[in-house]
Structure formats: structure tokens, C-alpha cells
Amino acid sequence: MHPAQLPEPQLLKDCRRENTRGSGPGGQHRNRVATAVRITHMPTGIMGQAYERRSQKDNARVAIFRLRLNIALEFRKPLEDQDFAIPYQPPTEWLSRRKGTKIRVNPEHDDFPGLLAEVLDLLQIHRDDLPKVSTLLGVSPSQLIKFLGSESRALHQLNERRKKAGMKPLRG
């Protein structure tokens, strides 16, 4: 399982959390109290942080989401035998978000980083063959591009690889 897909308690076992004072404007509360939160996933060194809210609890929630998203973007799961199982079975989280050939998920929803990690891992396994990956996931290629476009860094990464391979960029 990709770290971005792990349940929060399991993910946090491999993380270091730091609370610090926020910088910049925000008044006395922000500058006196350690409400900023930085969470680092120790096996990968990938970090998520939040400091814009006045509550440490709110910043921790946002930092965890950002950590998951950064892990989804920056970490590719090592290939295992089950990654090549035939036929491929999308995870239940993916199937529950699929409506016909469309995928419906808000990019701010807690499931989004895990779903994004699944797509990016599949694209790596199948050498960025978008039509093949969309078929495996049961969605249209245009829906998959739209999904990737909801996180601009994901679409940018894919387009950089496509450019190196002499392929046209995709528009999200």
C-alpha cells in the first residue's frame, strides 16, 4: 500500500511532528503560541506543514493532508508482484468514486491523495500510457486528465515526462 493511502494512525507512526510559532501577521495569539505544525514522513523525508490557522488542531489536520498529497506526488511505491496481477483490480476507494466512466472526488477530500498516488503509480508502471491506465481504472482518458489537472503539480510532472519522450502535453 502506498503511504498516502495508509490510515492516519498508521501513517503517523512513521512521522515526526514539530510545533512552532507561526511567523508573519496574525496577531498576538499567532506569534505567542506554537500553532504552526510541520509533519515529516521519516522513511521518505517528505514533509507537510501548515501555519495559516490560529488553532494547532486545525493546522495539524491541514499539515497531514498536505503531507499525504506531497507523498502521493513525490514517492513512487516500489513494484511488487501484485502490481502486475491480471486482471488489475482498482482499490475500493477508487471504485466508490467512479460513476460510469467519470471520477468524482473533491481535491480537498481526505481520499484524494491516496487516489492520486494510485493513478501516478499506475502511470509509472505503464510508462505514462494514459489510455491504458484510464481503461484499467474504468474511466475515460479525458476524465483521468481532468482528475490529474485538479492537482497541477501532478499534471505538470506527467507533462514533463511526456515532453522528454517526445509526446504532446496534456491540458487539464
Q: Tell me, letter by letter, the H, E, C secondary structure of 51-120.
A: CCCCCHHHHHHHHHHHHHHHHHHHCCCCCCHHHHCCCCCCCHHHHHHEECCEECCCCCCCCHHHHHHHHH
What's the pLDDT tens digit per position in 115-152? 999 999 999 988 899 999 999 999 999 999 999 999 99
Kindly state whether residues 18 and 53 are assigned to the same domain. yes
Give me the mean pLDDT over the 78-97 stretch.
80
Task: Look at the chain and count its residues.
Answer: 172
Element (H, E) at 37: strand 36-41
pLDDT at 88: 82
Kindly state whether residues 88 and 160 are assigned to the same domain. yes
Kindly state whether residues 62 and 112 are assigned to the same domain. no
- Distant-in-sequence contacts of 137-146, Cβ < 8 A, 24+ apart: 137/90, 137/94, 137/98, 137/103, 138/90, 138/95, 138/98, 138/101, 139/98, 139/101, 139/102, 139/103, 140/101, 140/102, 143/101, 143/102, 143/103, 144/103, 144/119, 145/170, 145/171, 145/172, 146/172
Residue 125 belongs to some domain of the structure: yes
- Last residue within a domain, chosen from 24, 58, 74: 74
Residue 172 belongs to some domain of the structure: no
CATH number of the domain enclosing 53: 3.30.160.20
pTM as predicted: 0.87
Kindly state whether residues 13 and 86 are assigned to the same domain. no
What is the rounded average pLDDT for all residues in the chain? Answer: 88
Q: Give the residue, 70 or 87, on which the prediction is more confident.
A: 70
Residue 24 belongs to some domain of the structure: yes
Domain that holds residue 135: 81-164
